[in-house]
Amino acid sequence: MTMALPRSDANRLAAAARAGGSSFYFAMRILGREQRDAMFEIYSFCRQVDDIADSDAPREWRLARLDQWRETVETLFAGSAPGELQGLARAVERFSLAKADFLAILDGMTMDAVEDIRAPDLERLDLYCDRVASAVGRLSVRVFGMEERNGLALAHHLGRALQLTNILRDLDDDAVIGRLYLPREALVSVGIEATDPHVVLSHPALGLACAHVVDRARGHFVRAENIMRLCPRRTVRAPRIMAAAYRQMLEAMVARGWRAPRRRVRINRPRLLWIALRHALA
């Protein structure tokens, strides 16, 4: 007879399984048990709210569910978390995670739920990246045990670097659901006036527009690396793995080019394992 896992543990294990084989999974596996569990609790929260934002359900339903999550976050920080979030509640208490960062993530998901984002201006894109990526980074650096000033700076730059890389990787997947995150300024600067995802992705100047985003991502990767050099190695092993894997993905996309059909770039498991071991043993 098998014993049923508490719902909070089941959620964490499901999140770990879902992340399996990703750079996130390999980065988190090198952490101590308490840190690793906390990171998978954060990942589980992010996946659940992201699934709502990306659902094909009516927008009203998605917005209502995200509002319910806001109420749940309030109860979490009021000390009365539901049973399935007990693991997250332990992480919040142990690592002094900030309610504002959870709410920022929900605000980012709401941006996707309210409307399909198409060619946002740079200010709006940066706000989106802050909410859906750097806010996650702000939670993460607390778990990693980073000093606050460098931790916040790393979350700012590495979060944006990773999200901009994701945007470039997911161009075609996002277009299928009517989204286009390439910034309007980059498009207009190369003569692309359209905002329809399929029109933009078939435009001959797409590569030039993507190059603008590549440059911004590279700049954030460089700043993130400079910050990590200032920090104790034990506190930045996990973010170093994430940065190395995503930087390789970014450069692989540049080498592949942007002309359709675009082969989806992935970092294979042996390569991820090599990256993880290199930084785990450094």
Q: What is the pLDDT along the chain (282 residues), one digit of tens a residue?
A: 344 435 555 554 454 444 444 677 888 888 999 999 999 999 999 999 999 999 999 999 999 999 999 999 999 999 988 888 999 999 999 999 999 999 999 999 999 999 999 999 999 999 999 999 999 999 999 999 999 999 999 999 999 999 999 999 999 999 999 999 999 999 999 999 999 999 999 999 999 999 999 999 999 999 999 999 999 999 999 999 999 999 999 999 999 999 999 999 988 878 877 777 777 666
Rounded to two decimals, the pTM is: 0.91
DSSP per-residue letters across 4-47: PPPHHHHHHHHHHHHHTTSHHHHHHHTS-HHHHHHHHHHHHHHH
Q: What is the model's pLDDT at position 14?
A: 52
Q: What is the model's pLDDT at position 19?
A: 46
SS3 content of the chain, % helix, strand, coil (to 5): 75, 0, 25
Q: What is the model's pLDDT at position 17?
A: 44
Per CATH, is 8-280 categorized as 1.10.600.10?
yes
